[in-house]
Amino acid sequence: MLPVYDLSCDEGRGAFEGRLDRLRNTASSSTDAGRVVAEILAEVRERGDAAVVDYMRKWTDPEFTADRLVVSGAELDASLDAVDPALVAALEQSIENVRAYQEHVLPRDPEPVRVGSAELGMRWSPVDSVGLCVPGGTAVLFSTVIMLAVPALVAGVPAESIAVMNPPATRRADEPASDLAPAVLATCKLLGLSRVYRLGGAQGVAALAMGTERIEAVDLIAGPGNVFVQLAKAQVAGITGTDNGFYGPSEIVTVADETADAERVASDLIAQAEHDPGKCFLVSWSGEVIERIVRAVGEQLGTRKRREAIERSLAEESCAVLVADADEAIAVTNRLATEHLNLAVADPEGMLGRIRHAGEVFLGDTPVAAGDYYAGPSHCLPTGTTARFTSGVSAYTFLKRTGTVRYPEGVDARTAGHIALMAEAEGLDGHAQSARVRAE
């Protein structure tokens, strides 16, 4: 069950700091996982498809073969018929919602500004190609295809230049072969995505970054995944672009006061805990509120299919935090810098203005699942306290900024003189002359 830590005592503070350190360490490349990832990248660089297949056999399917890497067009065409029409309708509405939001936030080129005799501007342009990491494992995360691909499409990345990697479900040698879920393939088909790979893990990131015999390299890799996927993204940065985010195991922080509905708050905590592992933090200045919500969590566990995973996440990765007041609740929340933040308080808008770090904020009685599937902002959000310095996926992720400089009337003598003076002070007389020659 969810442990409760009282920050007014040394024992409670120490236990909470331990949880916080564990949360931060999920994004650290100095662990054994970082060394394993470096070895995988080197193998894929050296041996291409053969290395990818070896790692897929090791971690996903002991009978995996290279001819399974690429999903065929026929498989994509057949996928829609294999999915419940009601689900297809829900997927189409989700795509429409996410597209509308991403189009709304899409940046436009600003009007040029005149600074002295120069006309200065900036233009946005999309990357040429992207690879999207869609996790597999025990859940069928077709929603992640929407939350990654729609922002890329809105940014202007061509559908034919978007590659999706999604691994089959993990199986043992004595189990029947598994394959990609029809709902994942159907979502790709609805979005017009034709480059789909049965691929996952650090080996998938390596293949997308460097290219192999069957897998074409991309210019930018984005998306969530386990610690190996996220550390692989960090280690290939420079070989290819990345989303600059650490989108790892799912998290939620709920700040609750006396107005919070215990049953609904509990359902949100459980929803994130079932990701296995999920990390859940309940913050309140009322011991009675915490007690009600923890009790509601226990009452709901018996009806959840993933009860074992939820109980493990709550006991090992999560906690409730009893603070002195709303000010301390906000301070704790900003330190946790969580993926999902739910403000289940009487005045969520008032508290929002004091929140500095969070991937996405849900105000009042709003289910976090709305953000996971349907509302509009991408559910690919920073984890491991990295919301302190980075953001979730959006159309911005797939855009580059390019500055423009123009002197409509030419470079005047005063401007050339200033440029030359600064260049010569740095010992770069060629720079100086390139300015002076335009003013002569």
Crossing angle between the packed helical segments 429-439 and 413-425, to the nearest 10 degrees:
170
The verdict on whether residue 372 carries a ligand-binding annotation is yes
Residues 313, 169: Cα–Cα separation, whole Å? 21
Catalytic residue among 251, 274, 340, 360: 340
Separation of alpha carbons 66 and 44, rounded Å = 14
Query: Which one, of 167, 308, 184, lies nearest residue 226 by Cα?
Result: 167
What secondary structure letter does DSSP report for 176? P
DSSP string of 86-137, one letter each residue: HHHHHHHHHHHHHHHHHHHH---PPPPEEETTEEEEEEEEE-S-EEEE---T
Tokens of 231: 């550390």
| Structure token pair of residue 251 | 């998290």
203 is in an annotated binding site: no
Q: How many CB atoms lie within 10 A of CB 439?
A: 15
Asked whether residue 357 is marked as a ligand-binding residue, the answer is no
**219 assigned binding-site residue:** no
Query: d(Cα 275, Cα 278) in Å, to the nearest integer?
Result: 5
Asked if 133 and 205 touch (Cβ cutoff 8 Å), the reply is yes
Angle formed at CA 330 by CA 326 and CA 333, multiple of 5 degrees: 135
Yes or no: say if 432 and 423 are a contact pair by the CB < 8 Å rule. yes
Q: Which residues of 44-80 are buried (b: 16+ CB within 10 A; e: fewer)?
A: bbeebeebbbbbbeebbbeebeeebbebeeebbeebb
Q: Which of 251, 339, 357, 360 is an active site residue?
A: 339
Active site residue 340: yes
> Is 431 marked within a binding site?
yes
d(CA 151, CA 351): 29
DSSP-derived secondary structure for 124-175? EEE-S-EEEE---TTS--HHHHHHHHHHHHHHT--GGGEEEEEPPPP--TTS
Question: What are the structure tokens assigned to 274, written together?
Answer: 């079932």
Consult the annotation and say whether 426 binds a ligand.
yes
Residue 189 and residue 182: Cα distance in Å, rounded?
A: 10
Q: Is 418 a catalytic residue?
A: no
Q: Is 194 marked as a binding-site residue?
A: no
**Range list of β-strands (E), 357-397:** 360-363
Cite the annotated binding site for substrate by residue number. 250, 272, 275, 340, 372, 426, 431
Residues annotated catalytic, as ranges: 339-340
Cite the annotated binding site by residue number. 250, 272, 275, 340, 372, 426, 431
Cite the annotated binding site for Zn(2+) by residue number. 272, 275, 372, 431
